[in-house]
Structures are given as C-alpha cells and as structure tokens.
C-alpha cells in the first residue's frame, strides 16, 4: 500500500499539467495512465493554444520550447460565398493564439515531471476509485498482474470521456447534456508546407474545410464528411481534390500536397457532465466535457479546469480554506458552458447540416455576411477564440 496527496487518473495533458502545478507547490501526486507513454505521445490532437494557456505554460516553466518553435497567429481567415475575410485578433482584442501541437505540450510536461521525479505509472489497468465521499479515499489498480492500492486525500479524474472517473459518480447525482452532430471530420497530417501562415476556415456548399498546421513542414487539414464514411473510401488523391474544391481559389492554387502520414475520421459532439465534483473526486478535461474541435477549445478547457482545480487543491493541502474545492465545479462550469456555446456557434455556422435545407443555408450566409460587415461581431468572435479569462 502506498500513500500520496493526490491520485491523478489519466496521463494525458490535463493530468500532467495538474501534477506539474501540484509539484511546483510542493505537493506529491501519482499519475495512473492506462496506455503506454508511446501510445499517449502518438495521439494527434489540437494545436491551437489560447493566450491564457500560453501564459499558464510559461508560468509553470514548460513554455521555453513552445516559445521557440510555436507560431503566434494574430488572426484567422474565413471563406464563404466566394469571399474571404480575416478576423484580426490582435487589432480587435489585443491578444493572439499560439499554434503548438498538443503532442508537443505533452512532451514538455513529461520532461518536466520526469526531471522532478513525479511518479507516473503507465499501463495501469483496472483503475478504480473507492470511498470518494469519505475522508480517506483510495484508488486500486493492477500493473503487470500485481494489484496495488494508493491512499490519498483527493482524486483527480483526468482520464477522458471513456475513462472510469465519471462513472464513479452515481447516476442520481450526475447530469449529462449532449448534442451529437450528424457528420464527422476527416483529418490528415502531411509533411508539406501549410497553405497559409494562418488558419483558414471554409464554409462551402460541399461542406466545411479547415487548413491548420503544426510547424513549417507539417500541415493538418480537415474536410467535413459523412459518419458512414470509411478511411478506405478516402485515398489521398480524393482528399486533396475535395479540399481544393472547398478552399478559396488563391489558397487552392497554393496548396502543396503529399502523402498523408496520419489519417482519421472523428465524430463531433458537445457534451457536459455536472457536477465536476463528487466528494473527494474531481473531474477535469474530457472526463467532464467534450466540445467539437471547430472552436479549438478542448485542450484549453482542460487546462482552465486544472487552473481552478489546482488552486483549490493547493489551498486545501496547505491546510487552508477548502473554498476553492467547494466552488470548483460551479466556477469551472461557467467557463465550460461559454466554450461549449462558442464551439456550437462555430460548428453551426461553418458546416452543412443535412436537415436544414435552403432556409438554413441562407441563414448561415446571412450570419457570415453579418460577421464580415460588423466589427462588434468580429470582436465577439475574437474574444472567444483567443480565450476568455481564467
């Protein structure tokens, strides 16, 4: 039997960030991760960091490589109805975003925690939280066929939508809200130069498209597709042809194609679980909420959760007030719902929905035209995209 102050279930970026916050405050934690480290590092995820996330990583001493290799974007491009506009974040709200892949953030956090000697248990199976409403919770797990128990003061569930943490909250307590979207994103990663120095969001009669990047020779592209599609239906040539059709003409002309090094289809959903706390168990990140990637909020929301949760845990572990923990769920959920609203708005605005008909399309076009003409509408989008305050 082992004892630590906080058991963190899940070794993705949320769990790693929380462990770093606790470590810098002088508090021990143990991370239990179901997968191997190589598996975690191979996951391809978001690459747009809100400015609050950038500043948070810097404050934790894990921003040096991000500042050296990341790309600051002062705006994004949006195309529709044969037009292209630019939303100038810097001019509108005085802040920007950083393009730096989630995989790279994860590498930086792993390196910092390894240097600090924080315990990370990979390939931990059958992870189960116990006595979460008592004063002495504990977590059991198996590793290499041997059962283990860790006693602790608190448990942080950072194990994602399919993890065990949320299921530990009784159905009589947990409320779940969900919207499933009737399409997916087909995404590819290619070792080619990005088509533009900033992201391009495209609304097109054939469906949505997005041009993104990871660095100067690694591009990430997406097209809206049917949930019934199979990866085998989308050889590289078909993907590039479809992407060209949906992009503005000048961008399509500049597009450099090449073999895909990763290709996947992701469904889109909005999901929120309430509350994010039950007893001494706290949910953070995808364990408590999912947003469609259109608004680039998933990783950023996980980190804002950890910001609120770490403050509460540190205050409690230092022997001070438990107010931060008592208020964690309500405070975090206020920001979560704002991000859910923005991600829903971006998704609804930019995609083709199979059941809206011509009326729905014309409403989208009117909304996009309003965005193009209205500085206040652009400011609202910019404010949400670069990130609301933590």
d(CA 270, CA 250): 33
pLDDT above 70 (res 206): yes
- Where do you find CATH 3.50.50.60 in the chain? 2-73+97-178+269-347
Torsions phi, psi of 45, nearest 5? -135, -165
How large a percentage of the chain has pLDDT more than 90?
Answer: 93
Active centre residues (catalytic): 73, 201, 293, 297, 385
Q: What is the mean pLDDT of residues 107-112?
A: 97
- If pLDDT is split at 50, 70 and 90, which confidence band does 41 have? confident
pLDDT above 90 (res 113): yes
d(CA 335, CA 337): 6
135 Cβ neighbours under 8 A, 6+ residues apart: 280
CATH class of 2-73+97-178+269-347: alpha beta
Residue 85, pLDDT score:
96
Question: Considering Cα of 219, then 286, then 346, then 58, what sign does the dihedral take?
Answer: negative
Is residue 108 within 8 A of residue 233, CB to CB? The reply is no
Angstrom CA distances, 334 to 206, 239, 264, 288, 376, stand at: 35, 38, 32, 13, 23
The DSSP string of 244-297 is HHHS-HHHHHH-----EEEEEEEEEEEEEEE-SEETTEEE-GGGTEE--GGG--
Fill in the DSSP letter of residue 352.
Answer: P
60 Cβ neighbours under 8 A, 6+ residues apart: 17, 20, 21, 24, 112
pLDDT above 80 (res 254): yes
- Over the stretch 343-361, which tens digit does the pLDDT of each residue have? 999 999 999 999 888 999 9
β-pair type (218-225, 209-215): antiparallel
Q: What is the mean pLDDT of residues 231-249?
A: 96
Residue 44, pLDDT score:
67
Residue 305, pLDDT score:
98
- If pLDDT is split at 50, 70 and 90, which confidence band does 1 have? low
d(CA 312, CA 258): 48
- Where do you find CATH 3.30.9.10 in the chain? 181-268+352-386
- Over the stretch 159-187, which tens digit does the pLDDT of each residue have? 999 999 999 999 999 999 999 999 999 99
Summary mean pLDDT of the chain = 96
Is residue 66 within 8 A of residue 104, CB to CB? The reply is yes
Residue 300, pLDDT score:
97
- Over the stretch 140-154, which tens digit does the pLDDT of each residue have? 999 999 999 999 999
pLDDT above 90 (res 16): yes
- If pLDDT is split at 50, 70 and 90, which confidence band does 215 have? confident
- If pLDDT is split at 50, 70 and 90, which confidence band does 214 have? confident
Is residue 137 within 8 A of residue 143, CB to CB? The reply is no
- Over the stretch 61-87, which tens digit does the pLDDT of each residue have? 999 999 999 999 999 999 998 899 999
- Over the stretch 116-142, which tens digit does the pLDDT of each residue have? 999 999 999 999 999 999 999 999 999
Q: What is the mean pLDDT of residues 280-296?
A: 97
CA atoms within 13 A on the CB side of 297: 29
Residue 313, pLDDT score:
98
Q: Which residue has the tokens 């450099």?
A: 256
Angstrom CA distances, 281 to 25, 140, 383, stand at: 20, 14, 32
Residue 40, pLDDT score:
87
Residue 166, pLDDT score:
98
Q: Find out if CATH 3.30.9.10 is the number for domain 181-268+352-386.
A: yes
Residue 257, pLDDT score:
96
pLDDT above 90 (res 60): yes
């Amino acid at each position: 039997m082992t004892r630590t102050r906080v058991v963190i279930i899940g070794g993705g970026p949320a769990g790693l960030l929380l462990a770093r916050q606790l470590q810098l405050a002088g508090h021990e934690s143990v991370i239990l991760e179901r997968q191997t480290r190589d598996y975690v590092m191979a996951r391809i995820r978001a690459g747009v960091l809100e400015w609050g996330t950038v500043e948070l990583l810097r404050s934790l001493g894990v921003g040096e490589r991000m500042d050296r290799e990341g790309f600051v974007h002062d705006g994004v491009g949006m195309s529709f109805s044969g037009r292209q506009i630019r939303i100038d974040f810097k001019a509108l709200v005085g802040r920007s975003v950083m393009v730096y892949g989630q995989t790279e953030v994860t590498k930086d956090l792993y390196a910092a925690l390894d240097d600090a000697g924080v315990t990370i248990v990979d390939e931990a199976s059958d992870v189960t939280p116990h006595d979460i409403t008592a004063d002495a919770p504990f977590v059991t797990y198996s590793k290499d066929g041997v059962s283990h128990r860790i006693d602790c003061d608190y448990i942080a569930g950072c194990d994602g939508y399919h993890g065990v943490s949320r299921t530990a909250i009784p159905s009589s307590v947990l409320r779940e809200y969900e919207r499933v979207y009737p399409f997916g994103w087909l995404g590819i990663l290619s070792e080619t130069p990005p088509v533009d120095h900033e992201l391009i969001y495209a609304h097109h009669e054939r469906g949505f498209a997005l041009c993104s990047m990871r660095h100067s020779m690694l591009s990430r592209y997406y097209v809206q597709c049917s949930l019934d599609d199979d990866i085998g239906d989308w050889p590289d040539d078909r993907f590039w042809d479809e992407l060209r059709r949906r992009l503005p003409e000048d961008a399509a002309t500049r597009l450099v194609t090449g073999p895909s090094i990763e290709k996947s289809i992701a469904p889109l959903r909005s999901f929120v679980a309430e509350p994010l706390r039950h007893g001494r168990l706290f949910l953070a990140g995808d364990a408590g909420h999912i947003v469609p990637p259109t608004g680039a909020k998933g990783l950023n929301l996980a980190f804002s959760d950890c910001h609120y949760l770490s403050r509460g845990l540190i205050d409690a572990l230092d022997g001070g007030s438990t107010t931060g923990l008592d208020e964690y769920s309500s405070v975090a959920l206020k920001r979560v719902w704002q991000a859910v609203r923005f991600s829903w708005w971006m998704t609804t605005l930019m995609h083709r929905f199979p059941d809206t008909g011509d009326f729905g399309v014309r409403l989208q076009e009117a909304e996009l035209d309003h965005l193009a003409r209205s500085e206040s509408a652009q400011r609202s989008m910019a404010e949400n995209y670069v990130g609301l305050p933590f």
